[in-house]
Chain A
Amino acid sequence: MGKDQRYYNINKLNVIFAIAACTLLFALISLFANDYSRKWKDYQKEFHLLEIENARTKYDAVMNQLDGNEEYQTLLKELDEAEKGHAEKCGAIAHSEELTQLQAENDLVQQNYKFRKAELDAAKYRFEATEAHPAYGQDLEATKQEFLTLEKQVDDLQLKLESSNTRLTQKKKEIDACSDELKKLDRQRYELAKQKELIERKLKNIDPNAMDFTNQVAQMVRDLPVLDLANPNYKIEQIVLKDIRDDVNFMTVPKVERCMTCHLGISNPDYKNAAQPYKTHPNLDLFIDKNSPHPLEEFGCTVCHGGRGRGTDFISTAHTPSSDTQKKEWEEKYDWHELKLWEEPMLPKQYTEAGCFKCHSGETAIKGADKLNLGLQVIQRAGCYNCHQIDQFKGWPKSGPSLRMVKSKLSKDWIYKWIEDPKSFRHNTWMPTYFNQSNNDDPESVKRSEQEILAITHYLYTESEEFTADKMRAKGSADRGKELVASVGCMACHNVQPQSIAEKTTKDTLRREHGPNLIGLGSKVSKEWIYSWLKDPNRYHPTTRMPNLRLSDQEAADIAEYLYTSRNEKFEAKKIPAVDQKVLGDIVLGYLTSMDTHAVSEEKLAAMTQDEQLYFAGQKLINRYGCFSCHDIKGFDKAKPIGTELTEIGNKSTHKLDFGFVHIDHSKWGWFSQKLKDPRIFDEGKEKAPDEKLIMPNFYLSQEEVEAAVTVLLGLVNEQPVEAKKVPRTPENLQFEAGQKLIAQMNCQSCHQIQGEGGTIQKTITDWLVEYEGRAASDAEKVTSSFSPPNLKGVGQKVDPNWLFNFLHQPTDHMRPWLNVRMPTYNFNAEHLNMLVKYFHTIDEEKFPFNFEADTSLTDKEYKAAEKLFSKDYLGCAQCHVVGDQMPYGEADAWAPNLALAKTRLNPHWVLKWIKNPQDLVPGTKMPTFFDPSDFENAGPPDILDGDENEQIRVLRNYLFHLSEVSPKAKTVSVTPAEPAPAATATEETQ
């Protein structure tokens, strides 16, 4: 082919071709590289280095320690010598010709045996088959012969093998016996250097410097592209959770967690201080660890944290920044953006505890989830569940007082001023504010609001029933009242706080806000009303949670007098506007036209008197604002809650939330926080008629309250997907949850410590001790617990259920007569009482049916011995314990419960344990340890019952069970110790 026939210059084309080919090659290599390089591999490489470094440091530390360990060093020397000796002594036997030969022989016999055995099996089959299905050309006799011959051969070979084995073992034993000493030394060395050996082995696996050559090569090759299909170092780590399923539209798949692919140190406590993503989980006691209640293999990560477990890069795992700063940082560092369609993104760090509620939704306080618990408390206190249905709060009482007889308690003016701005009367009230909010504070709305409040007030007053307050049967003294309020227990649920103080919301502050702040009552109610209320709260409000403190007439009068002295003059001075016929007419017309045409509505309006209009508008407005949700109001018994249901609010798609024109982060938590901070904010910039506006009132929650409440909201989710992991619905758990709920509702933990939580009142008891008992502050603090309601730790094991039932029903002051603070009488029904009894027994793992029986009889000798033990000369029980009406002779600071109640109150088995070692049951108790547990055998007095400690404790217990309400002296007369106490009676009583 001539050059002239060619259209293109071939050399030029060749060059272009070469360039094109190289470009494509380069493209293909880039493709490979691009596909091969994954961020998670980089993380794994970095972690690998960290791991090596960590192992080396550990190794060095162990080696240092071993170097300094004399025992180890001598052992090494001994071992060295022993080895030398061993070579001399046993070398000859170990390497002898005889052994080699024996071994070779044995191998051969073994193989022969195996082959012949295989042949035998085949021959056996042939024989059996021929016998069962005789066919032409097959000789049954021949196959049989073959089988039998082989059988014989195998038997022979087996004998031969056995004898060979025996000879070989014999020989080996000889060698072993020779090197026994050496082995023993080596074992000793290993014991000492176990740690070192383990790390050494690990280093050999991971550290290129410590590896042998083959491993080094393998190490290099196994992660090369394509070859990495076999057994790479760097691979995606995952666990599959079969019982938790992800919904992937139209079907569900098991949850897969790949988080550990990058979070490599998550379960290893060595990486506590490592940087992310290698850092150890901050709470291995509760999570991740195999022995924790939530092991990684069973619970995974995203079940609690949210996010996409299947993702393998920073973005596809749906990480969520916890602040704007972090968001910016991530955007720069990782090119982060939100996964818009993944409905369960990772919870921002501050809301992580929301994840707990998925499975623990029956609990009112979840161990370890402090923020979530605070959130639950905020919701209980604010009463969110009144307007918003939340299944977890089904059956909770209404948050506000009953308004059925409000006429007899409050003046119309007071109600107006209160509704208009509750905070102006009581700065820390939980009654939220409806008016003068961001969407109704313009002059026109304010005018409308005034008329609305007038209408609501009018309705409440018109519909109110009569209540006759008791006449005060004593003349009160404000000073005494003040002291009573400080000491008798009011401060458990109330506080007296004239000015607002900047204070972080905690569990304790919320407990003290269980009831209203007792200020300004003089401007609110009459003295008689307070008196009546204190004497019997249920008379005015049958379902109130305010208990009865069993105050005497004088005490009630004193407290009423004291509370009445506090006035709020600024509040009293506020003006009440007059009814504006035009605005009121508009309001009424607005409601009328929603039911009928304009013309008819106008007629109806014209036919109404002003009072009728106020009543009509009031009724409609109470319905609109949902006042009846928190307050009992006549005419609204059957009204439904007005708010959005929140039971599964955490699942609500962000796309369904109306962010309006407010520029905030488009996330659920962003919306919830903003809504709680200013419930009307999303009306901003919108044109709305008055009856279209948002009506959620403002609780003026603090930042930490909002954050805690949002944590709960995010935790309110559909529990179906985690059904398998939910706290099991066992009777014990149900009893526990029911009791917890009642305890939260009744604020028991304000006085008592239950499960290590509570006792809020103690601070006020200290104050009382300082102010009224003249104690120094430090001294007061020390003895506070002696004058406070008891810690209820171990109550379930300690007390008799019957007694507990009765005590909770009708508490007495006999048990701790020296206390000023009183256990109040609650309006519990039998169901409540049983709930509490079961709760206390459940938390102390006392199984139902309870077995609180014991033989408490005493012989004469035992009785005398017990009496001795009880006396001043020995244990001196009555020094601290009240016995019947006899007060202890010791210091009041250390007084202890009435022993005369022991028989009906205590569990006899528990008393034994208690006397034996009280610190074991309630660490830190004031009860002295009479029997030193470290030297129990010699702890008791040797002269009583031959110094048998267990006997001493038993008779003392039985003695206590014989004490009755009469003093011990009288007791000795009445009880004839010769006769054993009738055990049957005791049984009847405890049952």
Chain B
Amino acid sequence: MVEAIKHFINTGTNPKILFPILIVVYFFMFPSTDFMYKVHKKLGLNNLWTKKGGIGLFTCLFLFFLFGLTDPNFRLIVTKPDNVPIVGLLFLVFFFLWFSMKQAWDNDRRTDEGKLPQEAEDSREKILVWPDLVYIEFIALLLCAALIIFWAIALNAPIEEPANPSVSPNPSKAPWYFLGLQEMLVYFDPWLAGVIFPTVIMIGFMAIPFIDNNPKGTGYYTFKERKMAISIFMFLWLVLWIFLISTGTFLRGPNWNFFGPFEYWDPHKLEALTNINLSEYVYMIWQNRSLPDNILLREMWGFLALGAYFGGMPLFLALTFFRGIFKKLGVLRYSVFSFLLLMAMFLPIKMFLRWAFNIKYIVAIPEFFFNI
């Protein structure tokens, strides 16, 4: 029975299964449109953002870890001093997610009842910076310092034995905050995953205040009034950041292979590498002929696809789903917004293409180290 559950979880955590499930669940959890919002409410998912829901959520998380700790492989990975903070991170992320969503839904309920948000009530009360705020900040500081010292004593900093250049650690992992980037390297060439994407992320952060000038939700938590903004943010934050970090920490083993949480990290595990480029699909499989010598001709289809995605998609969206947004933002801001969004979606799309169709590159020009 226990083995069956473990096997089930091991299979289920394979990203080919987990990632699509996560995306589907995500759309129900953070509905971005009115329609989904109604579905969300109808399914009673909003109950998650109550005290009972929170207790349920955390009980599940705790139970999972408790159950997991009985397994030696799971225990080995989770209790590794490097990984303990990531476990903490998971709990903290879940807690703050739940807490903020609870406040947002509470406020939404209040607005439905015609009351002002909770924060409006709070702002009527007055608290002195000195001594009240400074005092509790100081206490927090002391406790945090004590916590960190105890932590350092209990779990020695993972300074390992002297390195050996002929024996590199397997898996070689980036520091936890870079694991998302390292995960991207599986799907994109370094110039994209390591240079372009991080740059776009920075620019994206800078662009946020210019794109999102919706005054609603300023100073208080709300979901109903900012469905789109919150769901986009949550997607980037939870799916493309936290999920990739925890995958990188717990599910990527030797040779960067995927391992279920209860699986033994066998360094000899072999996975067949049968990835294929889009041009090979088009010419070799569909048309049954060899690849053209001309690079541009060969990669034409990839360029067309990318052109359609980055050029055609914004137009299409402007005319359909994003008609309202397009009107609100205007041409320039809409272009930037749609570009950033499409860029962000490019990663999960490429991941999906890799898992579903073994797509290696959409545009593959190894002659010039240009692969997308």
Q: Which residues of A contact B165 (CB under 8 A)?
A: 249
Q: Is A8 an interface residue (CB 8 A)?
A: yes
Q: How far is the CA of A31 from the CA of B145 in the complex (A)?
A: 12
Q: Mark B96-108, 1 if CB is under 8 A from A, else 0.
A: 0000000000000
Is A23 a contact partner of B146 (Cβ separation < 8 A)?
yes
Q: Which residues of A contact B125 (CB under 8 A)?
A: 7
Q: Which residues of B contact A34 (CB under 8 A)?
A: 153
Is B149 a contact partner of A341 (Cβ separation < 8 A)?
no
Chain A 1-57 interface residues, beta-carbon cutoff 8 Å to B: 1, 5-8, 10, 13, 16-17, 20-21, 23-24, 26-28, 30-31, 34
Is B142 a contact partner of A21 (Cβ separation < 8 A)?
yes
Q: Is B70 an interface residue (CB 8 A)?
A: no
Is A5 a contact partner of B167 (Cβ separation < 8 A)?
no
CB-nearest residue of chain B relative to A6?
B132
Q: How far is the CA of A327 from the CA of B284 in the complex (A)?
A: 58
**Most chain B Cβ neighbours within 10 Å, of A27, A30, A34, A343:** A27
Q: Is B208 an interface residue (CB 8 A)?
A: no
CB-nearest residue of chain B relative to A249?
B165
CB-nearest residue of chain A relative to B147?
A27
Is B146 a contact partner of A342 (Cβ separation < 8 A)?
no
Chain B nearest CB from A316 CB (Å) reads 7
Q: How far is the CA of A111 from the CA of B229 in the complex (A)?
A: 92
Is B153 a contact partner of A342 (Cβ separation < 8 A)?
no
Chain B 138-161 interface residues, beta-carbon cutoff 8 Å to A: 138-139, 142-143, 145-146, 149-150, 152-153, 160-161
Q: Which residues of A contact B143 (CB under 8 A)?
A: 20, 23-24
Q: Is A339 an interface residue (CB 8 A)?
A: yes
Is B139 a contact partner of A16 (Cβ separation < 8 A)?
yes
Q: Is B202 an interface residue (CB 8 A)?
A: no
Chain B nearest CB from A377 CB (Å) reads 33
Is A653 a contact partner of B166 (Cβ separation < 8 A)?
yes
Q: How many positions in chain A have a CB within 8 Å of any CB in the partner chain?
A: 30
Q: How many positions in chain B have a CB within 8 Å of any CB in the partner chain?
A: 26
Q: Is A251 an interface residue (CB 8 A)?
A: no
Q: Is B136 an interface residue (CB 8 A)?
A: yes
Is A8 a contact partner of B142 (Cβ separation < 8 A)?
no
Q: Given A7-B127, A343-B164, A20–B142 Cβ distance below 8 Å?
A: yes
Out of B131, B132, B153, which one reaches A30, CB within 8 Å?
B153
Is B150 a contact partner of A30 (Cβ separation < 8 A)?
yes
Is A27 a contact partner of B150 (Cβ separation < 8 A)?
yes
Q: How far is the CA of A312 from the CA of B153 in the complex (A)?
A: 19
Is B132 a contact partner of A340 (Cβ separation < 8 A)?
no
Q: Which residues of B contact A5 (CB under 8 A)?
A: 126, 128
Is B142 a contact partner of A24 (Cβ separation < 8 A)?
yes
Q: Which residues of A contact B160 (CB under 8 A)?
A: 341
Q: Which residues of B contact A21 (CB under 8 A)?
A: 142
Is A17 a contact partner of B138 (Cβ separation < 8 A)?
yes
Is B163 a contact partner of A341 (Cβ separation < 8 A)?
yes
CB-nearest residue of chain A relative to B151?
A27
Is B136 a contact partner of A8 (Cβ separation < 8 A)?
yes
Chain B nearest CB from A981 CB (Å) reads 72
Chain A nearest CB from B45 CB (Å) reads 36
Is B139 a contact partner of A13 (Cβ separation < 8 A)?
yes
Q: How far is the CA of A16 from the CA of B165 in the complex (A)?
A: 51
Q: How far is the CA of A16 from the CA of B137 in the complex (A)?
A: 12
Q: Which residues of B contact A342 (CB under 8 A)?
A: 161-162, 164
Is B149 a contact partner of A249 (Cβ separation < 8 A)?
no
Q: Which residues of A contact B136 (CB under 8 A)?
A: 8, 13
Q: Given A7-B127, A30-B150, A17–B135 Cβ distance below 8 Å?
A: yes
Chain A nearest CB from B121 CB (Å) reads 15
Out of B127, B128, B153, B162, which one reaches A31, CB within 8 Å?
B153
Q: Given A20-B139, A30-B150, A7–B167 Cβ distance below 8 Å?
A: no
Is B161 a contact partner of A340 (Cβ separation < 8 A)?
yes
Chain A nearest CB from B151 CB (Å) reads 10
Out of B126, B128, B152, B167, which one reaches A341, CB within 8 Å?
B167
Q: How far is the CA of A27 from the CA of B125 in the complex (A)?
A: 37
Q: Which residues of A contact B146 (CB under 8 A)?
A: 20, 23-24, 26-27
CB-nearest residue of chain B relative to A658?
B268
Is B139 a contact partner of A653 (Cβ separation < 8 A)?
no
Q: Given A8-B132, A24-B145, A316–B139 Cβ distance below 8 Å?
A: no
Is B167 a contact partner of A6 (Cβ separation < 8 A)?
no
Q: Which residues of B contact A604 (CB under 8 A)?
A: none
Q: Is A655 an interface residue (CB 8 A)?
A: yes
CB-nearest residue of chain B relative to A661?
B268
Q: Is A664 an interface residue (CB 8 A)?
A: no
Q: How far is the CA of A926 from the CA of B20 in the complex (A)?
A: 96
Q: How far is the CA of A342 from the CA of B165 in the complex (A)?
A: 11
CB-nearest residue of chain B relative to A30?
B153
Q: Which residues of B contact A639 (CB under 8 A)?
A: none
Q: Mark B204-219, 1 if CB is under 8 A from A, else 0.
A: 0000000000000000
Q: How far is the CA of A17 from the CA of B132 in the complex (A)?
A: 12
Q: How far is the CA of A17 from the CA of B135 in the complex (A)?
A: 8
Q: Given A6-B132, A653-B166, A341–B142 Cβ distance below 8 Å?
A: no
Is B135 a contact partner of A30 (Cβ separation < 8 A)?
no
Q: Given A16-B139, A27-B145, A30-B153, A340–B162 Cβ distance below 8 Å?
A: no
Q: How far is the CA of A551 from the CA of B165 in the complex (A)?
A: 63
CB-nearest residue of chain B relative to A26?
B146
Chain A 307-341 interface residues, beta-carbon cutoff 8 Å to B: 308, 316, 339-341
Q: Mark B4-27, 1 if CB is under 8 A from A, else 0.
A: 000000000000000000000000
Q: How far is the CA of A339 from the CA of B163 in the complex (A)?
A: 11
Q: How far is the CA of A24 from the CA of B150 in the complex (A)?
A: 9
Q: How far is the CA of A847 from the CA of B126 in the complex (A)?
A: 104
Q: Which residues of B contact A248 (CB under 8 A)?
A: 162
Q: How far is the CA of A622 from the CA of B189 in the complex (A)?
A: 49
Chain A 627-645 interface residues, beta-carbon cutoff 8 Å to B: none
Q: How far is the CA of A781 from the CA of B132 in the complex (A)?
A: 103
CB-nearest residue of chain A relative to B128?
A5
Q: Which residues of A contact B164 (CB under 8 A)?
A: 249, 341-343
Out of A8, A24, A653, which one reaches B167, CB within 8 Å?
A653
Is B132 a contact partner of A28 (Cβ separation < 8 A)?
no
CB-nearest residue of chain A relative to B149?
A27
Q: Mark A341-381, 1 if CB is under 8 A from B, else 0.
A: 11100000000000000000000000000000000000000
Chain B nearest CB from A149 CB (Å) reads 70
Q: Which residues of A contact B145 (CB under 8 A)?
A: 24, 27
Chain A nearest CB from B186 CB (Å) reads 24
Chain A nearest CB from B244 CB (Å) reads 28
CB-nearest residue of chain A relative to B139?
A20
Q: Which residues of A contact B127 (CB under 8 A)?
A: 7
Is B128 a contact partner of A7 (Cβ separation < 8 A)?
yes
Q: Which residues of B contact A316 (CB under 8 A)?
A: 161
Q: Which residues of B contact A8 (CB under 8 A)?
A: 132, 135-136
Q: Which residues of B contact A655 (CB under 8 A)?
A: 166-167
Q: How far is the CA of A239 from the CA of B143 in the complex (A)?
A: 44
Q: How far is the CA of A16 from the CA of B125 in the complex (A)?
A: 24
Chain A nearest CB from B126 CB (Å) reads 8
Q: Given A8-B135, A17-B138, A339-B161, A31–B149 Cβ distance below 8 Å?
A: yes
Q: How far is the CA of A5 from the CA of B131 in the complex (A)?
A: 11
Q: Which residues of B contact A13 (CB under 8 A)?
A: 135-136, 139
Q: Which residues of B contact A1 (CB under 8 A)?
A: 128
Q: Given A23-B142, A249-B163, A30–B149 Cβ distance below 8 Å?
A: yes
Identify 15 new A-B residue pairs, CB closer than 8 A, beyond the known A17-B138, A17-B139, A340-B167: A5-B126, A6-B131, A21-B142, A27-B149, A27-B150, A30-B150, A31-B152, A308-B162, A341-B163, A341-B167, A342-B161, A343-B164, A343-B166, A653-B167, A655-B166
Identify 16 residue pairs between A and B in the complex whose beta-carbon atoms are under 8 Å apart, listed by A's number: A5-B128, A6-B128, A8-B135, A13-B136, A16-B139, A20-B143, A24-B146, A27-B149, A31-B149, A31-B152, A249-B165, A308-B162, A316-B161, A340-B167, A343-B166, A653-B167
Q: Which 5 A-B pairs have the closest CB atoms?
A: A27-B149, A20-B142, A341-B164, A27-B146, A24-B146
Q: Which residues of B contact A (CB under 8 A)?
A: 125-128, 131-132, 135-136, 138-139, 142-143, 145-146, 149-150, 152-153, 160-167
